[in-house]
Amino acid sequence: MINIYSEDEIAKIKASGHITYLTHQHMKSFIKPGVSTKFLDEEAGRFIRELGGIPACKGFEGYPGNICVSVNDEVVHGIGSENRILKEGDIVTLDIVTLYQGYHSDSAVTHAVGKINKEKEHLLTHTEKSLYVGLKEIKDGAKLGSVGARIQQYAEHHGLGVIRELVGHGVGHEMHESPDVPNYGKYNTGVTLKAGMVIAVEPMLTAGKRYVAMLDDDWTIVTEDGRPSAHFEHTVAVTEDGYEILTGE
Ligand code: MF3
Ligand code: CO
């Protein structure tokens, strides 16, 4: 079943999304060489709580962190560690889920640590753009497959790999709801979007092949070929004539 949220409920998801957005803004100044991924996890958790939210990843299926912090070839679900120190040229993804007054919001951003090489620059630029290319397909009556098709088309055109095993999702009462929102697919197929649906669209792209593997911690997902991966995500509401970003300004 796909939830349809009322205007009041969407306002609440947006209030949650505002905390997620402010936390991403707050974290920017800490992304620099020498910082540990553990520090980023703790500072984000502290800030979310200070704003009255709950970092919803904490304890989700036993996940130990407040947020997910994934470096370079780590795609998602990296766990902050005091031994993992960011260095110039790394890229780091912060994936933040806030629970606020009963509603979840989910957003991810990949940052450059200092100056990064051309491969990573290309990856970051086009992964972020692919999110907006996908979002443009969203409106009442459109098909969900069109979102994934556009992301895939854009990504592959720029030589980036589209991971199949990881997908976006509905979000609201729960962190993960129906429907799945793949970053690949066929134009004009699949679920019909309706005003009031709320989905997290989250292209996870790689600079190399699209295959991924799980690390021994049973959480961190990495690229199989060790090439870097990027991730940009917004929670959006479907509207009559488009979409509204709930994790933006
Ligand atoms: N945004 C991540 C996701 O949708 C949040 C995961 S929380 C975790 O998968 F606990 F699973 F890490
Ligand atoms: Co998500």
Reported as a single tens digit per residue, the pLDDT across 180-220 is 999 999 999 999 999 999 999 999 999 999 999 999 999 99
Contacts of 125 (CB under 8 A, 6+ apart): none
Q: Does 219 fall in a domain?
A: yes
CA of 95 to the centre of ligand 2 (A): 8
Q: What percent of the chain has pLDDT over 90?
A: 100
Q: Residue 140: what pLDDT?
A: 98
What is the Cα–Cα distance from 196 to 202, expressed in whole angstroms? Answer: 19
The predicted-structure confidence for 134-192, as pLDDT tens digits, reads as follows 999 999 999 999 999 999 999 999 999 999 999 999 999 999 999 999 999 999 999 99
Mean pLDDT of the chain: 98
What is the Cα–Cα distance from 248 to 245, expressed in whole angstroms? Answer: 6
Q: Does 109 fall in a domain?
A: yes
Q: Does 232 fall in a domain?
A: yes
Q: Whose CA is nearest to atom 8 of ligand 1?
A: 57
Q: Whose CA is nearest to atom 6 of ligand 1?
A: 57
Q: Is pLDDT of 249 > 90?
A: no
CA of 205 to the centre of ligand 2 (A): 14
Q: What is the mean pLDDT of residues 76-87?
A: 98
| Partners of 110 in the β-ladder | 93
What is the Cα–Cα distance from 15 to 208, expressed in whole angstroms? Answer: 37
CA of 158 to the centre of ligand 2 (A): 23
Q: For a substitution probing ligand 1, which of 54, 58, 69, 76 has the most ligand atoms within 8 Å of its CB?
A: 76
Q: Does 142 fall in a domain?
A: yes
Local structure of residue 83 (DSSP, 8 states): T
Instruction: Say if ligand 1 is within 6 A of residue 73 CB.
Output: no
Q: What percent of the chain has pLDDT over 70?
A: 100
Where residue 33 falls among pLDDT bands split at 50, 70, 90? very high
Say how many domains are in the chain: 1
CA of 55 to the centre of ligand 2 (A): 13
CATH number at residue 113: 3.90.230.10
Q: Does 21 fall in a domain?
A: yes
Q: Is pLDDT of 38 > 90?
A: yes
Domain that holds residue 69: 7-245
Q: Does 107 fall in a domain?
A: yes
pTM of the model: 0.98
What is the Cα–Cα distance from 108 to 98, expressed in whole angstroms? Answer: 12
